[in-house]
Chains A and B, each alone.
Chain A
């Protein structure tokens, strides 16, 4: 019952978001139907577009799961952004500097990226557990430190690709792309299709399993819901806060690694945040903090972003409308009470109507 309400409520929020977006487009003189048609064609028009949508969604699914996992254990991981940056950076470093056989190289790069991001996020967990510093503030700070740290390392002359604003490319052995030259499903495999999406789905299932069926999950949820009672029950609250943040960090780091090893093959100098982590917050919220839900929310989000960019060249409508739509969706999701009120109002009216009809 609760779950169904929640789903209904999420769908209403998404529709309201799209509706408000349409009004804004209309207000500045663009045809919203045209814009949304272009977006939908931009997602489903060709098999290649579909594969691009999936590729774009993959990091968002993973950062979404990262944020959702932290939420489930009572922590707000605004730091997914920085953890993503750290994961991407470490994956690139390992992918470029180390010489390892194929497959193993990719796995090692991924594991190192997860480890580094886990430590990065674990630091925020440690500061909360040890000094009681709110993780929202520390992770925001760590995001910026990660960004500048990544830039500083990309500027390192042994790592920087000459005459570019980016690092060296990873070695072929570290890539997780599917081999080139697969020729079925039309041009589906013309995009840099990689194992990332499969990894994301497996991770979603794994996280669900951990939370639901293990003692670790029990502890983490207990701490998340009521740390006082968990402490009273003999659960080490501080340790669990650090573990939870570290796992969340590893997930965001995985997102960064998958993105580098499967798509970009390098890290660039960042002038500002790219938003992979912040978008993950929105994904998590839309998914009601369910890791499986993050797969769908991530695809929705990736689709909106990928399809949304196409309205700019096609009709000159600003693609930032997508940020606005997402903002509105999150805005409505923040107030379940509003939707609750609207539905009870409708129910009451219905009931009133029934009485009248008698």
Chain B
């Protein structure tokens, strides 16, 4: 086995960041929703529809940014359904999330067949129409810094979004209210806060972020949408959020960890080290189980997370 060179390390870090970014958007979506007290297991479905809409809009309009935004919007629309069920009709939030996970991929594949001649795979967007890499050509091709920093813009935006969500939740008025509603909706209600409106906002934003996560997958990491593109990443993001104890910064670290596992898988795939790729693919999930077992088990989320809030109950 050869020694790991600096460039190999750069390659692993670069790939890790690339794979972590879609997870970060989606996990931040989870942070928004669950801090307001709405469990969002439908992140997977929202991410899938975002991935499909993102790449499809980018393909037809030629604008990756429009595609990216539309991907977010599509996630937001699905999240609106989740909000209607969970906030207005006191639905079982997990069940509603399951429904979203049928609807998201169902709609994505259905529309893919409609728009792309019966194919469950969208046409690839041309290279020049992908999300740009702002630091392209800044460093020598293949150098350590190039491998690490020459990322798609969506990667940088993901980190920016971590900061924004953190600031929003802990420094602003609306953030205080979101957290209050997730902890003790009745207390917030008695202080004249419109619990339903705050929850709607948080859940819709959560879908927007998950949609952006999906789009960042389909117009940056790869160039099209296919049935297996998202499969499971929404759930991984959910795990990352729990892992990160429902905070944006914690979720970020967890996503980076999952990204790193992916980076190592890809790196080893390119070497002649004989490890079953199936076993490697398993690692992030096994890791999650072990970590959950060792210290996250006791961590609890917002006190009223998952509990429907109903006014006027005697």
Q: Do chains A and B touch in the complex (CB under 8 A)?
A: yes
Given known A-B contacts A151-B278, A152-B278, A323-B105, A335 and B96 have beta carbons under 8 A apart: yes
Q: Which residues of B contact A142 (CB under 8 A)?
A: 285, 289
**Which of chain A's residues 325-339 have a Cβ closer than 8 Å to chain B?**
326-331, 333-335, 337-338
B281 lies within 8 A of chain A by Cβ: yes
Contact with A along B108-119 (1 / 0, CB 8 A): 011101100010
Residue contact B113 to A318, C-beta cutoff 8 Å: yes
Contact with B along A21-48 (1 / 0, CB 8 A): 0001000100000000000000000000
Question: Chain B's nearest CB lies how many Å from the CB of A196?
Answer: 25
B202 lies within 8 A of chain A by Cβ: no
How far does the alpha carbon of A50 sit from the alpha carbon of B232 in the complex, in Å? 33
Q: Which residues of B contact A76 (CB under 8 A)?
A: 94
How far does the alpha carbon of A278 sit from the alpha carbon of B95 in the complex, in Å? 11
When A and B form their complex, what is the total count of cross-chain residue pairs whose Cβ atoms lie within 8 Å?
142
**Which of chain A's residues 265-287 have a Cβ closer than 8 Å to chain B?**
271-273, 278, 281-282, 285
How far does the alpha carbon of A137 sit from the alpha carbon of B289 in the complex, in Å? 9
Q: Which of A24, A137, A273, A281 contacts B231 (CB 8 A)?
A: A273
Residue contact A328 to B282, C-beta cutoff 8 Å: no
Q: Which residues of B contact A131 (CB under 8 A)?
A: 292-293, 297
B298 lies within 8 A of chain A by Cβ: yes
**Which of chain B's residues 215-230 have a Cβ closer than 8 Å to chain A?**
227-228
Residue contact A321 to B89, C-beta cutoff 8 Å: no
B288 lies within 8 A of chain A by Cβ: yes
A235 lies within 8 A of chain B by Cβ: no
Residue contact B109 to A318, C-beta cutoff 8 Å: yes
B28 lies within 8 A of chain A by Cβ: no
Q: Nearest CB to that of B282 among chain A residues?
A: A148
B85 lies within 8 A of chain A by Cβ: yes
- Residue among B81, B106, B282 having the largest count of chain A Cβ atoms under 10 Å: B106
Q: Which residues of A contact B41 (CB under 8 A)?
A: 136
B235 lies within 8 A of chain A by Cβ: yes
Q: Which of A132, A149, A155, A281 contacts B282 (CB 8 A)?
A: A149
Q: Which residues of A contact B165 (CB under 8 A)?
A: none
**Which of chain A's residues 218-277 have a Cβ closer than 8 Å to chain B?**
271-273
**Which of chain B's residues 291-309 have a Cβ closer than 8 Å to chain A?**
292-293, 296-298
- Residue among A28, A329, A331 having the largest count of chain B Cβ atoms under 10 Å: A331
A101 lies within 8 A of chain B by Cβ: no
B26 lies within 8 A of chain A by Cβ: no
Q: Which residues of A contact B107 (CB under 8 A)?
A: 320, 324
A133 lies within 8 A of chain B by Cβ: yes
Q: Which of B109, B239, B281 contacts A320 (CB 8 A)?
A: B109
A353 lies within 8 A of chain B by Cβ: no
Residue contact B99 to A334, C-beta cutoff 8 Å: yes
Contact with B along A131-146 (1 / 0, CB 8 A): 1111011101110110
A316 lies within 8 A of chain B by Cβ: yes
Residue contact A141 to B289, C-beta cutoff 8 Å: yes
Q: Which residues of A contact B103 (CB under 8 A)?
A: 323-324, 327-328, 331
- Residue among A141, A321, A338 having the largest count of chain B Cβ atoms under 10 Å: A141
- Residue among B96, B105, B232, B278 having the largest count of chain A Cβ atoms under 10 Å: B278
How far does the alpha carbon of A152 sit from the alpha carbon of B286 in the complex, in Å? 15
Say what secondary structure dominates the interface of chain B: helix
Given known A-B contacts A127-B292, A148-B282, A132 and B106 have beta carbons under 8 A apart: no
Size range of the interface on B? 35 or more
Q: Which residues of B contact A152 (CB under 8 A)?
A: 276, 278-279, 282
Q: Which residues of B contact A282 (CB under 8 A)?
A: 98, 102
Q: Which residues of A contact B281 (CB under 8 A)?
A: 148
Residue contact A328 to B276, C-beta cutoff 8 Å: no
Residue contact A285 to B102, C-beta cutoff 8 Å: no
How far does the alpha carbon of A331 sit from the alpha carbon of B96 in the complex, in Å? 5
Residue contact B89 to A330, C-beta cutoff 8 Å: no
**Which of chain B's residues 271-286 have a Cβ closer than 8 Å to chain A?**
276, 278-279, 281-282, 285-286
Given known A-B contacts A133-B292, A327-B102, A330-B102, A337 and B91 have beta carbons under 8 A apart: yes
Q: Which residues of B contact A329 (CB under 8 A)?
A: 99
Q: Which residues of A contact B228 (CB under 8 A)?
A: 271-272
Residue contact B91 to A335, C-beta cutoff 8 Å: yes
How far does the alpha carbon of A144 sit from the alpha carbon of B276 in the complex, in Å? 15
Residue contact A323 to B102, C-beta cutoff 8 Å: yes
Residue contact A133 to B239, C-beta cutoff 8 Å: no
Residue contact A323 to B109, C-beta cutoff 8 Å: yes
Residue contact A127 to B289, C-beta cutoff 8 Å: yes
How far does the alpha carbon of A132 sit from the alpha carbon of B296 in the complex, in Å? 9
Q: Which residues of A contact B81 (CB under 8 A)?
A: 331
Extra inter-chain contacts (18) besides given A318-B110, A331-B99, CB under 8 Å:
A28-B114, A133-B293, A137-B288, A138-B292, A141-B286, A141-B292, A145-B285, A148-B279, A282-B102, A316-B118, A323-B105, A326-B102, A327-B101, A327-B106, A330-B95, A334-B91, A334-B92, A335-B91
The 8 A-B pairs at the shortest CB distance, nearest first, are namely A323-B106, A327-B102, A327-B103, A331-B99, A334-B95, A152-B278, A131-B297, A318-B113
Q: Show 28 A/B contacts (Cβ-Cβ < 8 Å), sorted by A.
A: A134-B242, A136-B94, A137-B238, A137-B239, A138-B292, A140-B238, A141-B286, A148-B282, A149-B282, A152-B276, A155-B276, A273-B232, A281-B98, A312-B118, A318-B110, A320-B106, A320-B110, A320-B113, A323-B102, A323-B105, A323-B106, A324-B102, A330-B98, A331-B81, A333-B99, A334-B99, A335-B96, A337-B89
Name A residues whose Cβ lies closer than 8 Å to a Cβ of B: 24, 28, 76, 127, 131-134, 136-138, 140-142, 144-145, 148-149, 151-152, 155, 271-273, 278, 281-282, 285, 312, 316, 318, 320-324, 326-331, 333-335, 337-338, 341
